[in-house]
Amino acid sequence: KPSPWPEVVDPGLYHLLEEIRADFGEPIYINSGYRSPEHNAKVGGAKNSYHVRGQAADIRPTRYHDQKRWQDALGRLKIIVNRRCKGGVGFYPTFVHVDLGPERRWNG
């Protein structure tokens, strides 16, 4: 069966992630993108999560095995996301949430 991604992910999210990746200058890893309502409930996602709408992703740096370098890369990624994303941004210890909703910032 073909992947539902082209039909359920907002093109604006693709563009935002590419802008972030280009500014970051290296690959980013998507921990979580589109979620079905069932999967969203299973992982404890918010009831009206932008993940269910195909308008959110949780991302992190790749390539770093050294914890200090990885934390530095995550810090750089957070700065880029904060500058690039006009929607929702959640800063977590191991990833950054971005979404296409209204502008807001939080720490998780």
Quick: pLDDT tens for 47-76.
899 999 999 999 999 978 888 998 999 999
CATH of the domain at 70: 3.30.1380.10
Distances (CA, A) of 15 to 7, 19, 84: 15, 6, 11
Q: Identify the domain containing residue 80 by its residue range.
A: 5-88
d(CA 26, CA 99): 21
Residue 51 within any structural domain of the chain: yes
Query: Domain count of the chain?
Result: 1
**pTM of the entire structure?**
0.87
| Banded model confidence at residue 2, pLDDT cuts 50, 70, 90 | low
What is the rounded average pLDDT of the residues 88-106? 95
Is residue 20, in this structure, part of any structural domain at all? yes
Bridge partners for 29 per DSSP: 60
| Burial of 18: CB neighbours in 10 Å, binned 0-12, 13-18, 19+ | exposed
